[in-house]
Amino acid sequence: MNILVHDKNGETTQALRSFIKNQIKKIEKLGVPIRQVRVFLENISRKDSDPSRASVIVDVDIDGKKKVSVKSRAHDLYQAVADVSQDVIRQVRKKKEKDLTKLRKRQRNLVKEMEE
């Protein structure tokens, strides 16, 4: 799995990159073949009390021409990354379960056809 981190406003610290990679690697536990993950960071310089000043977008390319894209906003970049990683895991799990359900349905139909 290839993880690319892009920051709109400047350079990303090594600690933030490490945190992002640790959060994104949780997707591998699902057993879904992932080609590439792109993370786009944006920290908007507004008031410190603004609850949506950090924005994170994650695009996950799954084998089989499937793509999952999730966006999150939070007060802190770390919180936005944590939120978006949970959402990505949820979406990838949803795609995986949907594919498994379709596969099982096809297998049942094939068995029925063979019995007839």
CA distances from 44 to 8, 41, 62, 71 (A): 10, 10, 30, 15
pTM to 2 decimals?
0.83
Half-sphere exposure of 55 (CA within 13 A, CB side): 11
Could you tell me the two tokens for 76? 């802190």
CA 23 to chain CA mean position, Å: 10
Q: Tens of pLDDT along the chain (116 residues)?
A: 889 999 988 788 899 999 999 999 999 899 888 999 999 998 877 666 667 788 999 999 998 778 999 999 988 889 999 999 999 999 999 999 999 999 999 999 999 898 87
3-state secondary structure of 111: helix
Q: For the chain, how many structural domains are there in total?
A: 1
CA distances from 1 to 63, 72, 73, 107 (A): 11, 22, 25, 30
* CATH classification of the domain holding 46: 3.30.160.100
Residue 9's domain comprises: 2-115
